[in-house]
């Protein structure tokens, strides 16, 4: 209610600049978060529902992103994984405070097959392959973000391979297949933008602007 589909809207500039694909939009904002130099640009809060109906949340790092979904890694023995097995629907939140932005995503979670888990573990994060910065100042933040992403990669690798004592099977990749993305950009009452991508029956994405 009160949220016209994109084609019917009065034509907000910000709406018209959105990527038509929510995954592309996420890549754009992730890239901007990384080059801004903020700490943990790929950290997302993952919310789950336990079998007894209680809610929980914790931070995980986004390791891979494509149009199939968002991949992160978790220990197979962890509480979050037990929560997935009774209720495979989750919500994740990127809290990019320094950019006055947040992204909220919900969807279904699937365990990756072991070959794909290994492949994602041994490749560096996609986000490292970000384009080179233009200015000296940008370069400084770019290098610190790159350093963070490399640390993330080595941390994941050492967890998975157990520092020589390989314990494959204890950590796995999990993919969230989203059905809803909500992008929020702050900047004062005049500039604030809030828009949602949600799947429609055809499997396409519909974009709605929220007014509150
Ligand atoms: C910056 C940061 C990054 C983290 N990244 C991950 C991660 O990628 N995967 C993971 O399972 N836990 C990660 N953790 C730890 C989790 O937040 C959590 O404490 C742990 O996974 C146990 O959660 P659970 O008992 O709800 O399963 C991270 C914590 C922090 C603070």
- Does residue 188 lie within any of the structural domains? yes
Ligand 1 pocket member 74 (CB < 6 A): yes
Q: Residue 158: inside a domain, yes or no?
A: yes
pTM for this model (two decimals) = 0.82
Dihedral of CA atoms 79, 81, 86, 89 in degrees, nearest 10, equals: 110
Q: Give the residue whose CA is nearest to atom 3 of ligand 1.
A: 60
**Assigned domain for 1 exists:** no
Give the pair of three-digit tokens for residue 150: 């490399």
- pLDDT per position as a tens digit, 171-184: 889 999 999 999 99
Query: How far apart are the CA of 102 and the centre of ligand 1, in A?
Result: 20
Q: Is residue 147 part of a domain?
A: yes
Structural domain boundaries enclosing 73: 6-209
Within-domain flag for 99: yes
User: How many structural domains does the chain have?
Assistant: 1
Domain at 166, CATH number: 2.30.110.10
Tell me the pLDDT tens digit for each residue of 145-199: 667 677 777 766 666 554 444 444 578 899 999 999 999 998 776 677 899 999 9
The residue whose CB lies within 8 Å of the most ligand 1 atoms, and thus the one to mutate among 39, 57, 59, 80, is: 59
């Amino acid at each position: 209610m009160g949220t016209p589909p994109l084609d019917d809207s009065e034509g907000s500039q910000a709406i018209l600049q959105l990527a038509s694909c929510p995954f592309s939009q996420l890549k754009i904002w992730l890239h901007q978060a990384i080059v801004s130099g903020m700490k943990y640009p790929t950290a997302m809060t993952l919310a789950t529902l336990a079998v007894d109906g209680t809610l929980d949340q914790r931070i995980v790092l986004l390791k891979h992103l494509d149009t199939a979904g968002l991949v992160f890694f978790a220990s197979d023995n962890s509480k979050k994984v037990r929560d997935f097995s009774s209720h495979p629907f989750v919500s994740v939140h990127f809290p990019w405070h320094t950019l006055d932005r947040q992204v909220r995503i919900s969807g279904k979670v699937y365990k990756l097959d072991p070959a794909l888990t290994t492949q994602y573990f041994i490749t560096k994060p996609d986000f490292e392959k970000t384009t080179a910065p233009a200015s000296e100042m940008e370069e400084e933040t770019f290098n610190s973000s790159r350093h963070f992403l490399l640390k993330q990669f080595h941390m994941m690798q050492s967890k998975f391979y157990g520092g020589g004592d390989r314990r494959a099977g204890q950590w796995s990749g999990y993919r969230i297949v989203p059905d809803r993305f909500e992008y929020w950009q702050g900047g004062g009452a005049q500039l604030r933008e809030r828009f949602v991508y949600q799947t429609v029956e055809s499997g396409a994405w519909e974009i709605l602007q929220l007014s509150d």
